[in-house]
Amino acid sequence: MSKWEMVKLGEVSIIQGGYAFKSAQFTKNGVPIIRIGNLNGDTVDLDYDICYPLEFWIANDTYRIKMGDILVAMSGATVGKIGRYTYNQPALLNQRVGLIRIYDNQVFPNYVYHYVKSSLFLKQIQQLSFGCAQPNISAKNIESISIPIPPLETQKQIAKTLDTAVELLAMRKQQLAELENLINSTFYDMFGDPVINEKGWALKKLPKLVAKSKNSLKRGPFGGALKKEIFVDEGYLVYEQNHALNNDYSFKRYFIDQKTFNQLKDFEVKPGDILISCSGVYLGKLSIVPKDALPGVINQALLKVTLDNKEMNQIFFVYVFGNPNFKNQHITSSRGSGIPNLPPMSVIKNINFITPPISIQNQFAEMVIKIEEQKALVQKAIDETQYLFDSLMNEYFD
């Protein structure tokens, strides 16, 4: 190809759907089956708990996945989701996953891989999907999608540039994960498991750890107290789950006036308070209200904790409460099959918290602050790299 051309995917690649494997024959020893849930963008997550006998792989080369194959979700809410198989070991293609395997030597596979990850390709996939309740796309539909193909050397250069950006993003995300792991490992080194308490720290219940002032441990008001018709354009902020879930205090959606604020004064939010999500998938997620937070009140989906800083450091509390073993033991276990909800306040007040000397808690908190500063720098670099990558994708493929 000497110039840019629009070429149908089916003209340069093999495209096929997978096999309807029988769950009764799944095994933990054999060849892993690649399902939609295994697709993870730049790679494919292998799950050796969902396998099929090796004999099937030997007898059915049609459904074998090879290194470098591009895989695409063909049904469901994530139709168009992409993964690239980067392993040498055998794997099998499930029925709801499509395979794209480039065979034309004038088409560079990495170039096509980046194209099919673009918003333009996803939009084409979604437009071709059929079925109201459950979007689906067939192999023939995917074959019909036209993609821009420049000369081979241009394809390689584009792919190399995008590969570099992807590698840089992955490296910086790994740095971020390692910094968070450093905090968690330091917590365990210093304090051990907060439930097992193998280090023998003193135990105190939450009422002994909060400030002595009224309303230092407060669930949000009943929903009827914050109806939408009382909201105003500006005034006192209504704090929501979003603040606890995302630690995002720039989020401002609902406000109340002075009169309503005075009526709900018991639910007032102040800098240094801890907000805890009381329901939903992210039950128990929490964050510390920053110094520059707006005056306001919590809504019905939050628990507000005001600690006695002589007893417990806020940052230390966040890492105890957010510890997976602690949450499983006290917060999320036995919460029923419906929407998860925080246990009753009588239960919350009876939870034992490890309480090391405040000087040691403060030492841990100072370390966390320093690492968080490094994380902020890495996150800024990630955001800048992501912006560059998105700009390149738009330049090449929009």
120 plus 229 within the same structural domain: no
In the block, residue with structure tokens 């673009």: 118
215 plus 315 within the same structural domain: yes
241 plus 332 within the same structural domain: yes
263, part of any domain: yes
117 plus 211 within the same structural domain: no
271, part of any domain: yes
pLDDT in tens, the chain (398 residues): 567 899 999 999 999 999 999 989 999 889 999 999 999 877 899 989 899 999 999 999 999 999 999 999 999 888 999 999 999 999 999 999 999 999 999 999 999 999 999 989 999 998 888 765 678 899 999 999 999 999 999 999 999 999 999 999 999 999 999 999 999 999 999 999 999 999 999 999 999 999 999 999 999 998 778 888 899 999 999 999 999 999 999 999 999 999 999 999 999 999 999 999 998 888 999 999 999 999 999 999 999 999 999 999 999 999 999 999 999 999 876 455 567 888 899 999 999 999 999 999 999 999 999 999 999 999 999 999 999 999 999 999 87
76, part of any domain: yes
160, part of any domain: no
351 plus 217 within the same structural domain: yes
Which CATH number belongs to the domain containing residue 116 in this structure? 3.90.220.20
Triad 196, 314, 278: Cα angle to 5°: 75
Q: Are 66 and 46 in contact (CB under 8 A)?
A: no
Query: Concatenated DSSP letters for 230-264?
Result: G-BSSSEEEE-HHHHHH--TT----EE-HHHHHHT
Q: Which domain holds residue 325?
A: 202-355
391, part of any domain: no
324 plus 217 within the same structural domain: yes
**How many folded domains does the chain comprise?**
2
Q: Which of 122, 62, 51 is nearest to 89 (CA)?
A: 51
Quickly count: other Cβ atoms within 10 Å of residue 362's Cβ. Answer: 14
Domain boundary among 122, 148, 174: 148
192, part of any domain: no
Domain boundary among 85, 116, 148: 148
338 plus 206 within the same structural domain: yes
**Rounded-to-integer distance, Cα 217 and Cα 204, Å:** 15
314 plus 217 within the same structural domain: yes
Residue 373, burial from CB neighbour count under 10 angstroms (0-12, 13-18, 19+):
exposed
127 plus 230 within the same structural domain: no
215 plus 344 within the same structural domain: yes
118 plus 234 within the same structural domain: no
144 plus 236 within the same structural domain: no
